[in-house]
Amino acid sequence: MININEHYLKLKSSYLFADIAKRVEKFQKDNPKQEIIKLGIGDVTLPLPTACIKAMHEAVDEMAIGDSFRGYGPEQGYSFLRQAIARDDFQSRGALIEPDEIFISDGAKCDTGNIQEIFDTGIQVAVPDPVYPVYVDTNVMAGRTGMFQEGRYQGLVYLESTKDNNFIPALPDRPVDLIYLCYPNNPTGATITKDELSRWVDYARTNKALILFDAAYEAFIKDPDLPRSIYEIDGAREVAIEFRSFSKTAGFTGTRCAFTVVPKNCRAYDGQGKEVSIHGLWNRRHSTKFNGVSYPVQKAALAVYSPEGQKQVQANIDYYLANASIIRDKMQSLGFECYGGVNSPYIWIDGGKDSWSFFDDLLNKAGIVCTPGDGFGLCGQGFIRISAFNSLENVEKAMARIEKAL
């Protein structure tokens, strides 16, 4: 008899964004004439930078010729891309990361979801609340939680991120082993200072814990004093893994390219308390289960680091940040408390009512899709998230409709 992994039965019936898509589809069916503007899932709308497109075309042409054709590439990624990342994203900011500590992949969602596989099922996991659902669901699938009760999975430590703590949770009040942090934060748009991040690094060092630092939105940081990488903090190499992505930075959501940084001295422990290199284990896992990102896509990602690529990427980021500021200003002028939207593409809005009711209001009265805050956890109740990833024209139209409807 083929038995299933029963931990999957603990999961809420569907993934948040799939749930929203279903509601939107039904609304569209019932209201075929209503033009819907989607400010829900954070999906880019601007085309790929021309430097990336040019590089991708050239790489495709190379694949058409016997002499330059390439089969399987290195599972960890081509060295041309790993070198550019190490130099421009880390070493240039004083973060000492080497190219062979970078693992190229097809997405930060997959990497943040897969990484937990190399840790014991008995570890204590701490997740922020509100939280990107992937961190939670993948630990549920792995059997690290109990049942879902009253909005939370038993067995997880929830790190509450609220207005009162500026969406930077307090250190855990009991020992934890694996800590997920995400800054600039999805969904609250909050950022973290070096001092605040240092406290987490110190906690991890003292407690032999590990931080999984999701920096998928670092490109939106404009404030020069904010850290863009956890490795800008002394001592982080031993206790932190960082996830980055070209998705939001350079418009690769449909093209797929990301990377995970695992420093060689990043440590975990075996059952006897002996240190084990996480780098070695992740390399083993990655090369067993993954065959690399395609050559043309890695060439396109490399072009992000060229002078033209940098200019084009910055222009796209500025475009979305300008949208964020329009959304934030308008919602504030309508009397809502807004957070994020500066150094971040997400605006976290206190709707003053149940999140899904606010979601339904915006959809039914204005044809606007947002993301209900409680889909990210109990602390998200009462909030909605509006994403700045859309055209300026649609953002302006959406704000005018919301102003009229509310």
Question: Looking at beta carbons only, is 256 or 279 nearer to ligand MLT?
Answer: 256
What would the DSSP string read from start to end of 2-66?
----GGGGGS-SS-HHHHHHHHHHHHHHH-TTPPPEE-SS----SPPPHHHHHHHHHHHHHHTST
Q: Closest approach of Cβ 112 to ligand MLT, in Å?
A: 9
Candidate list 21, 36, 41, 123; residue touching ligand MLT; CB under 6 A:
41
Q: Is 92 helix (H, G, I), strand (E, B) or coil?
A: helix
Q: CA 304 to CA 312: how far, in whole Å?
A: 8
Contact 364, 27 (CB under 8 A): yes
Span of 36-44, 56-64, 111-119, 272-280 interacting with ligand MLT by CB under 6 A? 36-44
Q: CA 49 to CA 389: how far, in whole Å?
A: 15
Q: Count the residues of the shown chain that bind ligand MLT, applying the rule CB under 6 A.
A: 5
Return the residue matching tokens 């009162």.
164
Question: Looking at beta carbons only, is 186 or 323 nearer to ligand MLT?
Answer: 186
Q: Which residue is nearest to ligand MLT (CB)?
A: 42
42 binds ligand MLT (CB under 6 A): yes
Contact track, ligand MLT, 177-196, x by CB under 6 A: ---------x----------
Span of 41-49, 280-288, 298-306, 328-336 interacting with ligand MLT by CB under 6 A? 41-49
112 binds ligand MLT (CB under 6 A): no
Q: Chain centroid to CA 192: how far? A: 15
For residue 305, count other CB atoms closer than 10 A to its CB.
18
Cis peptide bond N-terminal to 32, omega within 30: no
Q: Closest approach of Cβ 87 to ligand MLT, in Å?
A: 26
Contacts 24+ apart (CB under 8 A), 32-36: 34/367, 35/367, 36/363, 36/367, 36/368, 36/369
Give ∠ CA 48-231-279 in degrees, rounded to 5: 90
Question: Looking at beta carbons only, is 282 or 376 nearer to ligand MLT?
Answer: 376
Question: Looking at beta carbons only, is 51 or 347 nearer to ligand MLT?
Answer: 347
Question: Looking at beta carbons only, is 95 or 327 nearer to ligand MLT?
Answer: 327
Q: CA 38 to CA 398: how far, in whole Å?
A: 9
Residues of span 275-314 touching ligand MLT by CB under 6 A: none
Q: Closest approach of Cβ 319 to ligand MLT, in Å?
A: 17
Candidate list 52, 85, 101, 109; residue touching ligand MLT; CB under 6 A:
109
**DSSP 8-state secondary structure symbol assigned to residue 119:** S
Span of 37-45, 196-204, 221-229, 304-312 interacting with ligand MLT by CB under 6 A? 37-45
Cis peptide bond N-terminal to 296, omega within 30: no
Q: Closest approach of Cβ 43 to ligand MLT, in Å?
A: 6
Question: Looking at beta carbons only, is 41 or 53 nearer to ligand MLT?
Answer: 41
Listed residue (400, 112, 330, 83) closest to 242, CA to CA? 112
Span of 39-47, 64-72, 193-201, 355-363 interacting with ligand MLT by CB under 6 A? 39-47
Contact track, ligand MLT, 348-367, x by CB under 6 A: --------------------
- Residues linked to residue 179 through DSSP beta bridges, in sequence order: 126, 211
Question: For the chain, what's the residue count?
Answer: 406
Residue 158: its H or E element: strand 157-160
Question: Looking at beta carbons only, is 42 or 49 nearer to ligand MLT?
Answer: 42
Question: Looking at beta carbons only, is 42 or 309 nearer to ligand MLT?
Answer: 42
Backbone φ and ψ of 350, nearest 5°? -80, 105
* Residue ranges that bind ligand MLT, judged by CB under 6 A: 41-43, 109, 186
